[in-house]
Structure 1
Amino acid sequence: MTRRRTATTRTFTTRPHGSERVVHDPLTGLTHRAGIELVSGRVRLSDADVASWPEVHPAAVHANEPISVCWSPLVRCNLACPHCLDDKAVSELARPDRHRIAHLLAESAILGVDISGGEPLLLRELPELIDILVAGGSAVSVTTNGTHLARRAEALASRVDAIRVSLDGPDAERHDHWRGTGSFERAIAGIRAAVAHGIPTQN
């Protein structure tokens, strides 16, 4: 017997594109052409409905602003992965500058902001930055190594629209080879905490 997938309702963002509307999915990072009439901004939709709509490459949506951006407000990380692409020589912005940039993004027409790093869960003011972006109408996701997610999931649950956890393997042996002993177990604990608090989570 085939088990039918249960659709869930979660937050997306939408804006006009010519005679159509485009929808940004903060969980997958994909852009879709809407199959129904929608208001602009943050909307609650069935993820199954959105997934059934045709994908559109963001470059095909000619506009003055991108559909979404990845924002790395810090380069610090609690892990030292050999394949990391972050330039640790880049100076970290001070807290007022991070808030200034969050407000600039919030005032734009960008539909989605993925907060990355470095490790964004090291930022104490992460909930404040998310609140600024959400108030401006963006859908907000956070990409994390997951090792601090268990302790921060509750505070993020009422704010963030999606969590993306980076895994380098399906088990501790392969993941920890790259990210360090115990990192897989902590990441899985973080994923479970995020799911338990109702945060749409991808890994």
Structure 2
Amino acid sequence: MPLERLGIQKTTLLDYPGRVAAVLFTHGCPLRCPYCHNPELITGPEPDSFIPRGEIFEILERRKHLLQGVVITGGEPLLHQDLGDLVEEIASLGLAVKLDTSGAFPERLQEILGNHPIDLVALDLKTAPGQYHRVGGSGEAILQSLEVLRSWGGRYLLRTTLAPQVVTDQDLACLENLVLPGEEWNHQPLRD
């Protein structure tokens, strides 16, 4: 599915650690997390708030003196075959690129990281790998994505949203055993 239209948050101080950034939202996600922060981006028609890619880049061009980076999030950005082109276009503006991913597509993650200038990846660890059925995903895919990041050599961080219907204390203990010493792992409170 092509990235012809995107959502945009023009400024954030929260989504890209240490940088003033814009956030670009992509449509579509293979997971069905019951606490999803952007449920309108999962399925169905593209939100009316999405604007053409050309307009997105006009905004970024006008604001690049204020920005240090761009976050690409979703939905799941790795669903889109032209994600690499989007990354290249952002980088050509002199902006760092952060990719947020669910880890559902490890092969695509490896391709993007190997061929495009990504500066930071945030990988969501939704729950213990054996419990990914709770969000409609594959624990094997998340383990493969984690290995892709570990072998990449770039900066990445891991995130877990503390949603009681998805992550139990037992799941957190399992994830603690999965995360290596020195890996940055953030626990995010569930937001209403």
Unmatched 5+ stretches in structure 2: 1-13, 159-192
- 2:96 corresponds to 1:143: no
- Letter of the 1:122 partner, please give it: L
| Residue 103 of structure 1, CA deviation | 5.0
Q: Percent identity of the aligned residues? A: 24
| Residue 156 of structure 1, CA deviation | 2.6
2:28 touches 2:75 (CA, 8 Å); kept in 1?
yes
- Alpha-carbon displacement from aligned partner over 1:114-156 (angstroms, at most 9, x marks no partner): 1000100011111111111111111101001011133331333
- In structure 1, the residue corresponding to 2:122 is in which secondary structure? strand
Q: In the comparison of the two structures, how many residue pairs are matched? A: 139
2:104 touches 2:137 (CA, 8 Å); kept in 1?
no
- In structure 1, the residue corresponding to 2:52 is in which secondary structure? helix
2:129 touches 2:142 (CA, 8 Å); kept in 1?
no
2:30 touches 2:136 (CA, 8 Å); kept in 1?
no
Aligned to 1:55: none
- 2:29 corresponds to 1:77: yes
- In structure 2, the residue corresponding to 1:31 is in which secondary structure? coil
- Letter of the 2:68 partner, please give it: L
**TM-score (normalised: structure 1):** 0.58
2:123 touches 2:157 (CA, 8 Å); kept in 1?
yes
Aligned to 2:154: 199
Residues 1-203 of structure 1 aligned to structure 2 (within 5 Å):
29-31=16-18, 67-72=20-25, 74-86=26-38, 87-88=40-41, 91=46, 97-108=52-63, 109=65, 110-157=67-114, 158-169=116-127, 171-174=128-131, 176-182=132-138, 184-203=139-158
Moved more, 82-91 or 129-138: 82-91
- Alpha-carbon displacement from aligned partner over 1:13-37 (angstroms, at most 9, x marks no partner): xxxxxxxxxxxxx9x83228xxxxx
